[in-house]
C-alpha cells in the first residue's frame, strides 16, 4: 500500500483520541493468561502486534473473546497453560516474542517462536542469555541469535541480572520468568526503561519492588489476580499528532486520554524544551498508570540534544522527533541511540535517507545523527521500509512539505495504528491510499 499526501496542510484544529497503548495491551493479555479469573479490557487496540499476542495465548490454551467493545481473557493460572501444537507466530512483534519467551521459561512450557521477515532479523540472544542464567533452556537460530527460538522445558531459578542495554522487553522477560522461580529475581538496568510490567504485576497482586533502573520480584508467584482496565491512549501514537501540531504555528490540537508514564513521556519533555506549548490536563490514574489530556499549540521551535539516559523514554518517538528537528532553529543531535538500528527497520538510516530526499541537512553516525534546521521540506517519494513508525513519521513530514509526497510500503501502519490515515483526514489533511 502507498500513501499519497498533499503537503502544506495549513493550520490544524481538532480534538481526537488515539488507540490504546500497545505496550500495556501486550502485557494485559499475557499477564491475564497467567491470572486466575476473567480479565476485561476496554479500549483494547486492534493493531496487528497486539493481535499476535492474543493468538499466542490462545495457542497456549487460554480462552480470549472479543465481546462488543471489550476483550475478555479467561485465565486459569500458569499451570493450566499447555504447550502449543505448532510454532507460535509472533508476526512483526518484538514485544510478543520477547515477553512470551520469559513467560514460557517461567511456566515450564516447551514452544517454538517464529515471526515475519523483519522480526526474524532482530536480536533474541538479549533475552535468551539472561534467561539461561536462570536455568532456562533456549535455542536461538544462527547467525546472530535470532528467531526461530525454541524454549525447552527446564526448572527455573531466581537470579540477579544486570542488563547492559536499557530494555523493557528484556527486563519484562526476566521478571516473567521470575514468577516461576523460588526467591528474589532482580533486574538492574543502566537507564530507566518503561515500567508497565512492574506496575501491572503490582496491580495483580505480585510481590514486586521497583524504582528507576531496578526491579525485584519475590517468587514463586502462585497466582495473579485478574485485571479489568480501560487501556489508556498510546503516547507513541499520540506523538505523531502532538509533533505535527507543535510544528504548525496557530494550530491547536487536543488529544484525550493519553498514557503519561514517565518511561514513555520523554517526547513531551523534549518538545517542551524545544519551545513547544503543551498543556497537560485532568491527570488521573488508570490501572496504576497516569493518564492525561493533552492540548498542543503550534509555534516556533529551537534545536535540542537527546543523549543516552533520555533515549529509553522516547525510543519509539525518535523518528517523529527527527522530523520536528528539521523545523527547529539550529543543529539538533541524537546520540546513545544505537538501539534504533535493531527495531522493525534500521530507524537511523531509514529516517535519514527519507529526510535527505526531502532536502534536510543531516549527518548519520553509529549511535545517532545530527539534523540542522529550520529547513523547508520538499515533497518526495519516500520508503516506509515496512516499519510503522517510519511510515507515520514520513507521513507527518509530508504534511509539512510543499507539493505531493508518496510513501511506499505503508501498510505497516496497521501494526500499531490502523486508523492513522483517517485520523489525519479528520484534522483536514489530504491523504489517500492506493
Ligand atoms: C517495548 C519496549 C521498547 C520499545 C518497543 C516496546 C515494550 O523496546 O521500543 O516498541 O513494550 O516493552 P526495548 O525495551 O527493547 O527498548
pLDDT, one tens digit per residue, over 196-253 is: 999 999 999 999 999 999 999 999 998 899 999 999 999 999 999 999 999 999 999 9
For residue 143, the model assigns a pLDDT of: 83
Nearest CA to ligand 1 atom 9: 316
Q: What phi, psi does 36 have (nearest 5°)?
A: -110, 105
Residue 287 pLDDT greater than 90, yes or no: no
Q: Do residues 30 and 57 lie in contact, with contact meaning Cβ atoms separated by under 8 Å? A: yes
Three cell numbers written together for 167: 530494555
Distance of CA 296 to the CA centre of its chain: 22
Three cell numbers written together for 266: 520523554
**How far, in Å, CA of 417 to CA of 371, rounded?**
27
pLDDT classification of 34: cutoffs 50, 70, 90: very high
Whether the bond between 235 and the residue before it is cis, its omega within 30 degrees of 0, is no
Residue 178 pLDDT greater than 90, yes or no: yes
Three cell numbers written together for 157: 531459578
Three cell numbers written together for 21: 497503548
pLDDT tens for residues 101-146? 999 999 999 999 999 999 999 999 999 999 999 999 999 998 889 9
Three cell numbers written together for 82: 499447555
Q: Do residues 381 and 408 lie in contact, with contact meaning Cβ atoms separated by under 8 Å? A: yes
Residues 6+ apart with CB under 8 A from 211: none
With a Cβ cut-off of 6 Å, ligand 1 is lined by: 23, 26, 95, 167-169, 172, 193-194, 315-316, 339
**How far, in Å, CA of 50 to CA of 66, rounded?**
13
For residue 142, the model assigns a pLDDT of: 85
Q: What is the CA angle 217-223-224, rounded to 5?
A: 75
Mean pLDDT (whole number) for 66-79: 96
293 is catalytic: no
For residue 401, the model assigns a pLDDT of: 98
**How far, in Å, CA of 105 to CA of 332, rounded?**
43
For residue 144, the model assigns a pLDDT of: 87
**How far, in Å, CA of 277 to CA of 264, rounded?**
19
**How far, in Å, CA of 358 to CA of 144, rounded?**
34
Residues 6+ apart with CB under 8 A from 273: 304
Beta bridge partners of 49: none
What does the mean pLDDT of the chain come to? 97
Closest among 109, 98, 106, 113 to 149, alpha carbons compared: 113
Distance of CA 427 to the CA centre of its chain: 24
Beta bridge partners of 373: 330
DSSP 402: B
pLDDT classification of 53: cutoffs 50, 70, 90: very high
Cut 0.95: pTM above it: yes
Closest among 321, 351, 307 to 243, alpha carbons compared: 321
DSSP 21: P
Three cell numbers written together for 190: 543502566
Residue 367 pLDDT greater than 90, yes or no: yes
In 310-352, at which residue ranges do the beta strands (DSSP E only) sit?
330-334
pLDDT tens for residues 337-349? 999 999 999 999 9
Closest ligand 1 atom to 165 CA: 16
Distance (Å) from CA 193 to ligand 1 centroid: 8
Q: Do residues 351 and 319 lie in contact, with contact meaning Cβ atoms separated by under 8 Å? A: yes
For residue 280, the model assigns a pLDDT of: 98
Of the candidates 21, 49, 260, 316, the residue annotated as catalytic is 316
Give one DSSP letter per residue of 1-13, joined into a string: --EEEE------E
Percent above pLDDT 70 for the chain: 100
Mean pLDDT (whole number) for 411-421: 98
**How far, in Å, CA of 106 to CA of 104, rounded?**
5
pLDDT classification of 313: cutoffs 50, 70, 90: very high
**Best mutation site among 315, 319, 338, 387 for ligand 1 pocket (most ligand atoms within 8 Å of CB):** 315
Q: What phi, psi does 109 have (nearest 5°)?
A: -120, 135
Distance (Å) from CA 10 to ligand 1 centroid: 34
Nearest CA to ligand 1 atom 10: 316
**How far, in Å, CA of 197 to CA of 204, rounded?**
10
Q: Do residues 62 and 74 lie in contact, with contact meaning Cβ atoms separated by under 8 Å? A: yes
In terms of DSSP bridges, do strands 252-259 and 289-297 run parallel, antiparallel, or are they unpaired? antiparallel
Closest among 180, 202, 193 to 134, alpha carbons compared: 180
Distance (Å) from CA 343 to ligand 1 centroid: 9
Amino acid at each position: 500500500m502507498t500513501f499519497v499526501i498533499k503537503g502544506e496542510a495549513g493550520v490544524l484544529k481538532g480534538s481526537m483520541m488515539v488507540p490504546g497503548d500497545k505496550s500495556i495491551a501486550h502485557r494485559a493479555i499475557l499477564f491475564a493468561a497467567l491470572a486466575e479469573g476473567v480479565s476485561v479490557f476496554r479500549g483494547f487496540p486492534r493493531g496487528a502486534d497486539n493481535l499476535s499476542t492474543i493468538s499466542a495465548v490462545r495457542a497456549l490454551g487460554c480462552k480470549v473473546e472479543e465481546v462488543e467493545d471489550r476483550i475478555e481473557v479467561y485465565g486459569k493460572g500458569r499451570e493450566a497453560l499447555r504447550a502449543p501444537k505448532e510454532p507460535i507466530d509472533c508476526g512483526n512483534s518484538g514485544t510478543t516474542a520477547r515477553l512470551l519467551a520469559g513467560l514460557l521459561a517461567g511456566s515450564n512450557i516447551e514452544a517454538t517462536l517464529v515471526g515475519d521477515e523483519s522480526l526474524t532479523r532482530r536480536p533474541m540472544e538479549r533475552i535468551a542469555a539472561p534467561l539461561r542464567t536462570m536455568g532456562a533452556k533456549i535455542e536461538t537460530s544462527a547467525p546472530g541469535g535470532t528467531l526461530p527460538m525454541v524454549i525447552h522445558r527446564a526448572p527455573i531459578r531466581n537470579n540477579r541480572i544486570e542488563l547492559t542495554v536499557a530494555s523493557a522487553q528484556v527486563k519484562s522477560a526476566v521478571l516473567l520468568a521470575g514468577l516461576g522461580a523460588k526467591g528474589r529475581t532482580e533486574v538492574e538496568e543502566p537507564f530507566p526503561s518503561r515500567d508497565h510490567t512492574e506496575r501491572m504485576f503490582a496491580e495483580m497482586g505480585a510481590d514486586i519492588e521497583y524504582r528507576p533502573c531496578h526491579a525485584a520480584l519475590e517468587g514463586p508467584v502462585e497466582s495473579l489476580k485478574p485485571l479489568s482496565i480501560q487501556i489508556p491512549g498510546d503516547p507513541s501514537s499520540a506523538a505523531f499528532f502532538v509533533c505535527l501540531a507543535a510544528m504548525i504555528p496557530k494550530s491547536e490540537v487536543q488529544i484525550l486520554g493519553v498514557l503519561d508514564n514517565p518511561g514513555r513521556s520523554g517526547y513531551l519533555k523534549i518538545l517542551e524544551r524545544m519551545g513547544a506549548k503543551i498543556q497537560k490536563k485532568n491527570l488521573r490514574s488508570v490501572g496504576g498508570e497516569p493518564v492525561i489530556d493533552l492540548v498542543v499549540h503550534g509555534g516556533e521551535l529551537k534545536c535540542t540534544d537527546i543523549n543516552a539516559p533520555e533515549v529509553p523514554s522516547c525510543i519509539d518517538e525518535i523518528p517523529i522527533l527527527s522530523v520536528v528537528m528539521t523545523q527547529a532553529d539550529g543543529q539538533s543531535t541524537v546520540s546513545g541511540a544505537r538501539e534504533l538500528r535493531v527495531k522493525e527497520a534500521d530507524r537511523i538510516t531509514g529516517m535519514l535517507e527519507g529526510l535527505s530526499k526531502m532536502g534536510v541537512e543531516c549527518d548519520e553516525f553509529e549511535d545517532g545523527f545530527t539534523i540542522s534546521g529550520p529547513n523547508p521540506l520538499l515533497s518526495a517519494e519516500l520508503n516506509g521500509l515496512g516499519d510503522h513508525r517510519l511510515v507515520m513519521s514520513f507521513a507527518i513530514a509530508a504534511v509539512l512539505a510543499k507539493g505531493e509526497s508518496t510513501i511506499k510500503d505503508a501498510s505497516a501502519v496497521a501494526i500499531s495504528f490502523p486508523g492513522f490515515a483517517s485520523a489525519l483526514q479528520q484534522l483536514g489533511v489530504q491523504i489517500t491510499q492506493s
